[in-house]
Amino acid sequence: MHRIFVEWFLCIEIPYKTSIGPGLTLFHGHALVINDSSVIGENCTIRHCTTIGNKENSDGSFSTSPVIGKNVDIGSNVCIIGPVRIGNNVKIGAGSVIVKDVPDNVVVVGNPGRVIKQL
């Protein structure tokens, strides 16, 4: 019952099997979708209209889901899709589409996401 309430009324989809470290902050969680096999590290921030999940491969199988490091700040309307690793201490700008690995200590923006600054 609680799962249905959260998904229908708050439009947040975070399955109970999702691996999430302590300190997760959700700002304006509306339209948030996270795949159950995604991994999210400690002290991450995720904003509204964000999707974190796998993708369908050309053979019809599905990829693994993203692994997100510690202290990652994810802007609104971000898509992180496929078997990617997001490093620690990363900031991802609003509207970014991340389909490749992101190193530690950087700011990433755009579609496709690209590093614009070292932190």
Q: What tens digit of pLDDT does each residue of 5-21 get?
A: 556 667 888 888 899 99
Q: Which of 2, 28, 30, 48 is catalytic?
A: 30
Q: In this structure, what DSSP letter does residue 26 have?
A: E
Asked about 30 being catalytic, the answer comes back as: yes
The radius of gyration of the chain from alpha carbons, rounded to an integer in Å, stands at: 14
Domain 2-118 top-level CATH class: mainly beta
- Contacts for 84-92: CB closer than 8 Å, 24+ residues apart: 88/41, 89/119, 91/119
Give the model's pLDDT for residue 34: 94
Average per-residue pLDDT in the chain? Answer: 92
pTM of the predicted protein model: 0.91
Distance CA 27, CA 1 (A): 23
CB atoms under 10 Å from CB of 30, counted, come to 12
Enumerate the domain spans of the chain.
2-118
Which of 4-8, 26-30, 33-37 is predicted most confidently? 33-37
Is the model's pLDDT at 38 over the cut of 70? yes
